[in-house]
Amino acid sequence: MTEQSGRVYIVGAGEVGRRLGHALRGTGSEVIDVTRHEGWKGAREDPTGIRLLCVREEDLATVLDRLAGVPDRSIVCIQNGWIRPLVSHRTDVTRGLIWFTSKGDFFEVLRESPFHGPCAAVLADRLAAGGIPAGNVDESLFAALEADKMGFNCVVGLPLAVHGVTLERYLTDHRDEARALVEESVSTCARALDTTADSGWWREFCIAAQPLGRVRATAAKALEFRNGAVARLAEQQGITVPVTERLLRKVGFAQPR
């Protein structure tokens, strides 16, 4: 255990927060759900609690503002997109990449979920004991895994909305586009993080995507933190990401300046 050995406050009532809470409760952890209007007093004042942020990317800045004054070492951001600009000034915040799919009673692990930061070891141990494989990794490995996860995020979303198909159909009918999109996303993010992604990124993507064949995306969401972030990073690096840019144009996405 570490100094964060008390309650776990889960901010965010979606599938990720619900599933993580279930796993932690299964190991005897005291878990407090923090909703829009309840649980904030404890989350702000508990001296030993862990704050597990499971909110959408666009809501993260607001949640961090509500936790102003809370030690960074007690905050864990569960990310599903490029949130680094939001936490760049909070160097002791723990981050985690979730690799499972959950909907109602359905739950399937896609890969081990990596964590990095002060709370990483405690959380990884508890989650693994609760049935969610997780690991504590160093900063270098986390950066490589983050770039890899961005490739996954950028396919399971925008192109499905553009083509109006399931992930399975997309990977069958538009396989070359999918591979190019993953490559653009992973390589751009890896370059921005000064790291090298796993050379087996496409093989690993296809394996992780298999259980999600029926997934659809009726609308492209969180583009500023996913495909839009890739386009922005590419522009900053002076490189081109033609597949990413073409798909963004299809949905009329205007990159914030």
- Residues near 166 by Cβ (< 8 Å), separated by ≥ 6? 160, 213, 214, 215, 216
pLDDT at 142 over 90: yes
The residue among 118 and 79 whose pLDDT is bigger is: 118
Q: Which of 45, 26, 223 is nearest to 18 (CA)?
A: 26
Could you read off the pLDDT of 83-130 as tens digits, one per residue?
999 998 888 999 999 999 888 888 999 999 999 999 999 999 999 999
pTM: 0.92
Backbone angles phi, psi at 34, to 5 degrees: -105, 115
